[in-house]
Amino acid sequence: MTVAAASRRRRHISPVVWLFLLVPAAVEVGLVFWPAVNSFYLSLTKWNGLGAPENVGLRNYRDMFSDGVFREALGNNVIWAVGFGGLSVAGGLALAVALNKPRRGVGVYRSAIYLPMVFSLAVTGLFWRVQYQPDGTVNTLLGAVGLESLERQWLADPKTALYAVLVAAVWRQVGYVMVLYLAGLKGTDPSLDDASAVDGAGPWQRFWYVTWPQLRGVNTVVFAVTVIDSLRTFDIVWAMTQGGPYHSSELLSTYMFQQGFTFLNLGYASAIAVVIFALALLFIITYLVRTLKEEVS
């Protein structure tokens, strides 16, 4: 029955539908896949955008490993991925759990925390740049509570610049992660929580052994979103420090932009882009494989 039904159904698909499918497929291939494949090719060349690219084999990749700025950017990306991912997931989850129970005014808190997500990253960057000025809010507050010794030029100090930008990025991301977890928490079974409470489980045990395992689906989404967001971070760093002072807050993405569009080293920039792509793929595939394995077992 199923075979006959399926074959009859297949016959029903008219050529017009195929045509309509073909148009978006062609757009996708032409505007997404072709440029992506092209950047793999460009990463093996030296090209300033003018004339024919000159083939240089793997030289761009070899140069990368002797390039101090690239290594610094890679290191910063690791700090960024851990800090951005860890803080926004921990903060978002904590807020979601705290604001999950319906209470008076809880909606106001949820919206307030989600609000920064509405601003573009560039606006967030400009806003925080003002807070970090030498006489800005951050230093003024520190001074007001007697912590003058901690006052510094947050964005101009190479020791703090990256972390100062990180705080601004997490401030924005935390609301997003919170909303994802709130949705996840809505999907958990409240009777399990009640039952375990009756059985005498403490709040921490209830969360860790009852609620957390039910959030596995959301975790996969949050992990993927966080890894992708942290690897593609660009605008907020560009708006706040442009990778400075002297490359101390440089990420792979800002370095790629500078190499590609300021210096027109399009071959080298493409090679950096390929590295970013490989890193994203590596993280996400490893994670997905692990999750799927767990689900199967």
CA distance 112 to 98: 14
Segment near another protein (CB under 8 A), from 80-88, 127-135, 177-185, 187-195?
Answer: 127-135
Query: Cβ of residue 88: shortest distance to another protein, in angstroms?
Result: 26
Q: Sign of dihedral through CA atoms 267, 270, 271, 272?
A: positive
Interface mask (CB under 8 A) for another protein, residues 33-52, using x and -? ---------------xxx--
Question: Within 13 Å and on the Cβ side, how many CA atoms surround 185?
Answer: 19
Contact 21, 37 (CB under 8 A): no
133 binds another protein (CB under 8 A): yes
Binding segment for another protein among 21-29, 143-151, 218-226, 280-288 (CB under 8 A)?
21-29
Q: Report long-range pairs for 61-64 (Cβ below 8 Å, ≥24 apart).
A: 61/271, 63/268, 64/268, 64/271, 64/272, 64/275
Of residues 148 through 207, those in contact with another protein by CB under 8 A are: 153, 155-158
Q: Which is nearer to another protein, 230 or 259 (CB)?
A: 259
Q: Does 17 bind another protein (CB under 8 A)?
A: yes
The phi, psi pair for 45, rounded to 5°, reads -130, 170
CB atoms within 10 A of CB 226: 22
C-beta of 228: minimal distance to another protein in Å? 25
- Quick check: 16 binds another protein (CB under 8 A)? yes
Taking 3-state DSSP, the helix, strand and coil percentages for the chain, each rounded to the nearest 5, stand at 75, 0, 25
Query: Using the rule CB under 8 A, which residue among 33, 41, 119, 263 binds another protein?
Result: 263
Give contact residues for another protein (rule: CB under 8 A): 16-17, 20-21, 23-24, 27, 48-50, 132-135, 153, 155-158, 242, 244-247, 258, 261-265
